[in-house]
Structures are given as structure tokens and as C-alpha cells.
């Protein structure tokens, strides 16, 4: 029996008073549901803690709504609305360079003007056996299919073409491997034996107008209102596709295979995917028809651009420097930018609503959903002296992460057996919800885009990661709860806000606090915090593994984030050679430390180890007794272990750890206050980017670099930085009714940082 489920998302991450936010909902086995707005305070349902906390907020959005199911159509492709100009009843030639990645995964469209509903039109694609095929249909049930007898190999470039002459019924198919030393999986020394040239006859009158758009990387399965549903998604790259309104001769097809131009007679469309590449990347969804006929296309569901083409020579790795070698787009059958649902209800945020963490809570019987959003203060203003930066970029990076489902390598990494909840099982059953940047596409390539315009089951206040306990959003609610319990006044803003507004956003505040895991940062975000500290701002970095991966937001789509995992760092995948640069900005991806900005330069500590078995306490070090640090340890005994308790792993130092390191830019005036050295198991290995040779002794029981460091230093113009070096620090704040040394140290620092009086220079 089907189980009742409710899922949804919002059109915005943050919203200011007076602004509108819309909510999109899909229900299964739910006829009606209740919606209400709640302020989220504490999400951890662990019975050892203060328990789940939420506060209802009376708004006009509260009420009952009709439930309905809304499907998601994942899979990237290009649509060309050709107004019938590519119907080509007299015949045609279709040509492209392709690099298939899953040629035997089912029928896939490459270049098509085909209606699956009507069995009409034409399509060049791959059949279920991975062979090049041409389909023709008359719309009345008669269909012709011609295919080669030689399957294509995965990750090998081919010139592929199909011609059809309506007068004679002549059909030809041609495929030719295009291999240089660097452009694919195999070298030219391997006898590919996958060239083919096939001629056949099609029945008279077999080609009818499909009356659908032209599609690259799929075909039209159905019409839906004014739009279409695309299926038969192609996995792999397409480069330089084109259409002629005549059947080219074999010699002309051979000319195309060489990358040259035959006669332009009959050229109907020629798309240049590299057109538009500039110093700022290629952020547009536009696909240019350079034939002069204006048959431009639009990318749907965000396929990957800035990828190497059939002619890449490996002499240039930055696509903006050699756009002619980056004329390809990589399509995936599981790409998802926008679920595309219709809105069900909306909220205009009341003018006096407190800046904080909120959610639309949806419920029907046992079915329950929370759609989080963040109310920022009025634009251009601050309503509190402190700002909590919500690390929404990191939430996006991990959104709908499916790794815990995999026994290998997930279980060795986390040192425990995953405990799967209903949300994890639902995610596994519904691949259309999209992937995280820690997952692989169905063709094995890494996921470099993540969007918030879809349900994100992991961004739920009660969600517990099956392998790593509390993680990301629910863990950050530990800090929200502590701020509320101790009565602090604070505003919230998101990573999107920081990326868009930069220094102007944070400079309004005396203190800025991070979440537990601000791992993913754009250049504008990093510049903003760096400028804030330089100008006298006071920063409390209350997590670890922060400021690590380079990300960029799409310049016109703030819901979409890009990351390219390069040749170092703790990574679930690595981008292919020549594909380390972001399509959305043109900048090099990877780790910030590899672009000269290790986290130590900003916050005094940087990523050194991760482990998920047990969290540990800190031991005070000599610098903690320096008179300039006396305010930090007021009320803390000289011999006290700091944080030998907590809701996440039982201690304040755990999950991921950051260390002090002068060689990586820790300021020489920084005080090293406490450390968890020699208190971690060998399930906490030293980070891979710092290991040049593999040898024994790189785990927490032997390597002195495996530790969390508590660091404090002052900066120019009265600024200061306090860093905890651990993701689980905030999980210890509520212990013993918030009366503990982790809570006391955090409060001591925040109270002092909120004061106007200058801090003694360290």
C-alpha cells in the first residue's frame, strides 16, 4: 500500500519583511494538508538534549490546502522551437560529434524532431544495444528504424550522421571514431573497430511532421499544455550539431568527420555551443545557431558546459582561453535544475517578523514536511548587533546526498553502519529528486551543479544523517537554540545574501557568527569576510572544514550553485582533465588553499582531519593562561577538559577538525588556546591534500596534526577572530541546561565581542 507523503520547496532561500515567498508542494496519498509557519529553534530529537523546539507564527498563509501530485521531469537537453522549419519533408542530414557515456542504457535521442506519442517525425539516436539508429515515423502507426551493426564504445568521440532522401527513400548512417591522444578513454593504438557506414531504403511517405520542437539529447515523449515532456535522455557529450535540408553525399559526410565544412547548400541550422564563452565563463542557457537562420536553442535542466570537445588538445585547461576546443555540452539523464512545480500557497512576510530561521510546516496525519526559509532583516538595515550566517551553499552541496546508501566507501569513512530512516529510503526510491555534489550521475561523472528549486529531504530540522548523526542544517539549529536560550539578539542572512551583497551586508554588525560547517564559499563571500575582519569586524567561526571548496552562483539564477572538484581535497569525485574551471564564472575550481587562500589566513585554523566514530574533548594549552585570553576562560577551571560531553559523538571536538598552522597562514599573533591532540581514533585520518607519500601513522592515534584547535587573535582596527576548529562544538552547547564550559566559553567570547571597547592586541 502506498504511503502518505508530502514534499515541497520554496522559491527563495531568504526573504525580507514585506517580501513574498512561494511554496511548491506535491502530495502522495494525501487529499488535504494543513500548512502553518513556524519559527525553528532546535531540531535535534535526541532525548539527551533539550528536544525539538518550534514556535508557531500566525500568518495569512496558515490554513488547509488541497493535496495534489506534481511530477518531476529530470534529464537535461536542448530545445529548439523551430516553428516547423526543421520538419524537412523532402529529406535531411543530421550530424554531430558525440562522446556517449552509457551507450547501452536504453534508447537515447541525440538529434530529434520526434513525437513518441504520435510516432511521427525523425530522430538520430542510440538503440538499446548502443548502436547508432535513425527513426522515421508517419504518425499513423508506421515506423522505420535503421541502425548500424556496430555498437559505439563509451567515452570515445565519434562523428555520427544520418541522411534521408524522401524522393528515393534512401537512408544512410555513418559513424567514425575521432581519437587523439587525449580526448577520450582509449588511445589510437587500440583497434576500435567501431566505424560503420550503412545504406537502406525506407518506405515511401514514412516522414510526417512531428509538430514538436527539435530536441538535442532526447526526444519529445508527450506534450503538456504549452510545453513538452522529454524522454530518451542521452548521456554524454555532443559537439557541433547541425542539420541540412538535403541528404549529403558520402564524401561530404567524410568532410564533416574531419571537422571541415562541406558545401553550405541546404544548411538549415548549425549550433555552436562555444558561442558566448568569454572571460566570465558561459553562464547563459542560450545555444546559438550560427547558420544565420536564427534557430537558437535553450538548455533545459542545466547540462554541464565548459567541457572538452572532440578536438581538445590538452595544451590549455582554461576553456575561456581556447573556446574552440570546448564546443561540447555534457548531458545527463538525471540532471535537475528546477522541479518545475506550480505554487500552492505563498506568504508575504509580516513587517515586524523577527529575523530568524523559519519553515512552512505541512502536515496530514502522520505525513509531515518542513520547508525551511530564512527571514533576513529589512534590506539595508540591521536589527541586532550580531549576524548569524546560514551556510546555505554547504546545504546545497550536500542536498539529497545518497552516499550513505553505499556500503563502500561510506561505511569505512564514517566507521559505523548507516541507520536508514524513512527519508533516506524515500530518496533512494525517487531519483528524480536530484543529486548532491557528493554523488555521481548515472554515467559515473561527478555532479557539479546543485539547485534549491526541488525538495531537499536532508534539509529538514529533524533529519539525522544515517552515517554522521546530525549534519548541516539540523546541526546549525544547536547554535540557534543556544542563542535563544541565552537571550541573544541576532539577525540571520544566507550565503546567497553574502554573495550578492558582500561586505555591505556584514559591516553593519559588531559580530558575525558562522554555522557549524561553512565548507563551500564563493570568491565574493570570502572577500566579504576578509574585508569585514580587516575593517575591525569580530568573527566567531564555530565549526570546521570551512572556507574549503570554491563555489560560484549562476549570475542570473541564484538558486543554482556550481562546484568543480579538482585534483586535491577530500572529494567524492574528480573533474575530468581540462574541466576544472567553472562554467558560470570562468574561475578555476577546487580548493581555496590551491588558489592561495587557505582558511588559516582568515580564521587561524584549517581542515586537518575527519572522523565520525567518537567526538573528543579539548585540553587547555599555555596560551589559554595569557592575560589577553583571560576573558575567554572566565569561569573555566585550569584543569578542566573542555567539551567531554555533547549531543554529537559525545564531545565538542569531532566529525571534522581544523588546526592552527603558521606555515599555512595562521597569524603569528594568534593564541593557541586548547587542542584535542592525541584524543582521536585512527578513524580520523589526516586530510589527503597534505599527504604526498603514503605511510603508516596518519591516523588520530599517532599523527599530531589530527586535532581540533581553539584559536583566538586580534586584527587591525579593533577586530578579532575566535575559532573552535570542530564541527561538533555547537552540539555541546546545551549540555546540563546550557551550564557547561563549552557554553561558557562561547558566551564569554560573544559577550566581549559585542562590547564597543577595544580588545588588547594579541
Q: What is the pLDDT of residue 414?
A: 77
- The mean pLDDT value of the chain amounts to 95
Q: What is the pLDDT of residue 179?
A: 95
Closest CA to 443 of 566, 330, 299, 332: 332
pLDDT in tens, 236-261: 999 999 999 999 999 999 999 999 99
Whether pLDDT at 1 is above 70: no
pLDDT band at 740 (very low <50, low <70, confident <90, very high): very high
What are the backbone dihedrals phi and psi of residue 160, each rounded to the nearest 5 degrees, phi first?
A: -125, 140
Q: What is the pLDDT of residue 303?
A: 98
Whether pLDDT at 413 is above 90: no
Whether pLDDT at 392 is above 70: yes
Residue 517 to residue 497: CA distance in whole angstroms: 17
Q: What is the pLDDT of residue 407?
A: 53
Q: What is the pLDDT of residue 3?
A: 82
Q: What is the pLDDT of residue 103?
A: 98
Across 1-10, 228-237, 252-261, 273-282, least confident range: 1-10
pLDDT in tens, 505-522: 999 999 999 999 999 999
Q: Can you tell me the mean pLDDT for 176-183?
A: 96
DSSP 98-140: EEES-TTSS-EEEEEEEETTTTEEEEEEE-TTS-EEEEEEESS
Residue 186 to residue 168: CA distance in whole angstroms: 39
Whether pLDDT at 468 is above 80: no
Q: Can you tell me the mean pLDDT for 177-187?
A: 95
Q: What is the pLDDT of residue 450?
A: 98
Closest CA to 380 of 219, 251, 263, 493: 493
Give the position of cell 577538525. Answer: 657
Provide the CB-side half-sphere exposure for 655 (13 A, CA).
29
Q: What is the pLDDT of residue 287?
A: 98
Closest CA to 357 of 447, 233, 490: 490
pLDDT in tens, 553-587: 999 999 999 999 999 998 999 999 999 999 999 99
Strands (E), 509-596: 511-513, 520-521, 538-541, 549-550, 552-554, 557-562
Q: What is the pLDDT of residue 466?
A: 72
Whether pLDDT at 695 is above 90: no
Cβ atoms < 10 Å from Cβ of 127:
18
What SS3 class is residue 452? coil
What SS3 class is residue 625? helix
pLDDT band at 409 (very low <50, low <70, confident <90, very high): low
pLDDT band at 408 (very low <50, low <70, confident <90, very high): low
Closest CA to 326 of 340, 315, 339: 315
Whether pLDDT at 588 is above 80: yes
Whether pLDDT at 339 is above 90: yes
Whether pLDDT at 448 is above 90: yes
Q: What is the pLDDT of residue 424?
A: 87
Alpha-carbon distance values, 311 to 18, 82, 99, 239, 532 (Å): 53, 29, 12, 10, 45
The model's pTM is 0.96
Task: List domains and CATH numbers for the chain.
Answer: 77-331 (2.60.120.200), 390-754 (3.40.50.880)
pLDDT in tens, 100-110: 999 999 999 99
pLDDT in tens, 126-176: 999 999 999 999 999 899 999 999 999 999 999 999 999 999 999 999 999
- Return the C-alpha cell found at 281: 565563463
Amino acid at each position: 500500500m502506498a504511503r502518505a507523503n508530502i514534499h515541497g520547496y520554496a522559491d527563495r532561500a531568504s526573504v525580507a519583511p514585506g517580501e513574498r515567498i512561494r511554496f511548491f508542494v506535491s502530495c502522495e496519498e494525501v487529499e488535504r494538508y494543513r500548512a502553518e509557519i513556524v519559527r525553528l529553534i532546535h531540531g535535534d530529537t535526541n532525548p539527551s538534549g533539550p528536544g525539538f523546539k518550534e514556535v508557531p507564527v500566525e500568518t495569512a498563509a496558515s490554513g488547509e490546502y488541497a493535496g495534489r501530485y506534481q511530477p518531476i521531469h529530470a534529464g537535461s537537453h536542448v530545445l529548439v522551437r523551430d516553428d516547423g522549419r526543421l520538419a524537412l519533408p523532402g529529406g535531411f542530414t543530421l550530424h554531430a560529434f558525440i562522446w556517449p557515456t552509457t551507450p547501452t542504457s536504453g534508447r537515447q535521442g541525440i538529434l530529434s524532431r520526434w513525437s513518441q506519442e504520435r510516432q511521427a517525425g525523425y530522430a538520430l539516436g542510440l538503440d538499446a544495444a548502443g548502436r547508432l539508429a535513425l527513426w522515421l515515423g508517419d504518425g499513423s502507426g508506421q515506423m522505420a528504424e535503421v541502425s548500424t551493426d556496430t555498437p559505439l564504445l563509451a567515452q570515445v568521440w565519434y562523428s555520427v550522421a544520418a541522411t534521408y532522401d524522401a524522393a528515393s527513400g534512401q537512408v544512410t548512417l555513418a559513424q567514425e571514431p575521432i581519437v587523439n591522444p587525449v580526448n577520450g578513454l582509449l588511445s589510437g593504438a587500440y583497434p576500435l573497430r567501431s566505424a560503420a557506414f550503412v545504406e537502406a531504403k525506407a518506405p515511401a511517405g514514412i516522414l510526417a511532421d512531428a509538430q514538436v520542437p527539435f530536441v538535442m539529447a532526447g526526444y519529445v515523449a508527450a506534450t503538456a499544455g504549452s510545453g513538452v515532456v522529454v524522454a530518451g535522455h542521452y548521456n554524454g557529450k555532443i559537439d557541433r550539431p547541425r542539420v541540412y535540408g538535403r541528404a549529403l553525399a558520402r564524401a561530404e559526410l567524410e568532410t564533416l568527420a574531419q571537422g571541415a565544412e562541406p558545401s553550405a547548400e541546404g544548411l538549415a541550422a548549425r549550433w555552436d555551443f562555444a558561442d558566448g564563452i568569454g572571460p566570465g565563463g558561459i553562464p547563459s542557457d542560450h545555444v546559438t545557431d550560427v547558420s544565420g537562420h536564427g534557430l537558437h536553442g535553450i538548455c533545459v535542466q542545466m547540462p554541464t558546459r565548459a567541457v572538452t570537445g572532440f578536438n581538445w588538445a590538452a595544451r590549455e585547461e582554461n576553456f575561456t582561453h581556447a573556446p574552440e576546443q570546448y564546443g561540447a555540452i555534457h548531458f545527463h539523464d538525471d540532471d535537475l535544475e528546477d522541479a518545475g512545480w506550480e505554487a500552492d500557497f505563498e506568504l508575504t512576510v509580516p513587517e515586524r517578523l523577527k529575523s530568524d530561521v523559519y519553515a512552512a510546516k505541512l502536515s496530514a496525519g502522520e505525513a509531515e514536511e518542513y520547508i525551511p526559509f530564512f527571514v533576513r532583516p529589512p534590506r539595508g538595515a540591521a536589527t541586532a548587533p550580531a549576524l548569524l550566517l546560514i551556510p546555505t551553499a554547504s546545504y546545497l552541496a550536500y542536498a539529497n546526498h545518497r552516499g550513505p546508501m553505499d556500503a563502500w566507501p561510506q561505511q569505512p569513512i564514517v566507521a559505523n553502519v548507516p541507520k536508514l530512516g524513512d527519508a533516506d529510503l524515500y530518496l533512494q526510491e525517487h531519483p528524480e529528486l536530484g543529486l548532491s555534489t557528493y554523488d555521481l550521475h548515472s554515467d559515473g561523472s561527478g555532479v557539479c551543479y546543485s539547485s534549491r528549486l526541488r525538495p531537499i529531504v536532508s534539509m529538514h530540522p529533524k533529519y539525522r544523517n544515517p552515517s554522521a548523526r546530525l549534519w548541516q542544517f539540523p546541526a546549525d539549529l544547536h547554535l540557534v537554540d543556544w542563542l535563544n536560550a541565552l537571550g541573544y539578539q541576532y539577525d540571520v542572512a544566507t550565503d546567497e545574501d553574502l554573495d550578492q551583497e558582500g561586505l555591505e551586508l556584514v559591516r553593519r554588525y559588531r559580530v558575525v557568527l558562522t554555522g557549524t560547517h561553512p565548507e563551500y564559499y564563493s570568491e565574493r563571500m570570502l572577500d566579504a569576510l576578509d574585508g569585514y575582519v580587516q575593517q575591525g569586524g569580530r568573527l566567531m567561526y564555530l565549526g570546521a572544514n570551512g572556507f574549503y571548496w570554491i563555489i560560484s552562483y549562476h549570475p542570473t539564477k541564484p538558486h543554482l550553485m556550481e562546484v568543480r572538484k579538482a585534483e586535491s581535497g577530500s572529494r567524492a569525485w574528480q573533474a575530468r582533465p581540462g574541466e576544472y574551471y567553472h562554467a558560470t564564472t570562468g574561475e578555476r575550481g577546487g580548493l581555496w588553499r590551491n588558489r592561495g587562500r587557505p582558511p588559516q589566513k582568515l580564521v587561524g585554523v584549517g581542515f586537518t582531519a575527519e572522523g565520525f566514530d567518537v567526538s573528543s574533548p579539548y585540553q587547555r594549552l599555555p596560551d589559554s593562561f595569557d592575560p589577553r585570553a583571560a576573558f575567554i576562560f572566565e569561569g573555566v577551571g585550569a584543569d578542566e577538559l573542555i567539551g567531554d560531553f555533547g549531543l554529537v559523538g559525545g564531545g565538542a571536538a569531532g566529525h571534522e577538525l581544523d588546526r592552527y598552522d603558521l606555515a599555512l597562514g595562521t597569524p603569528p599573533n594568534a593564541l593557541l588556546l586548547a587542542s584535542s591532540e592525541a584524543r582521536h581514533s585512527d578513524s580520523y585520518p589526516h586530510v589527503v591534500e597534505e599527504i604526498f607519500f603514503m605511510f603508516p601513522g596518519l591516523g588520530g592515534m599517532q599523527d599530531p596534526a589530527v586535532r581540533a584547535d581553539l584559536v583566538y587573535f586580534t586584527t587591525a582596527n579593533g577586530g578579532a577572530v575566535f575559532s573552535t576548529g570542530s564541527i561538533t562544538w555547537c552540539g555541546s552547547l546545551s549540555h546540563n541546561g546550557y551550564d557547561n564550559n563549552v557554553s561558557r566559553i562561547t558566551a564569554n567570547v560573544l559577550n566581549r565581542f559585542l562590547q564597543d571597547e577595544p580588545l588588547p592586541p594579541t
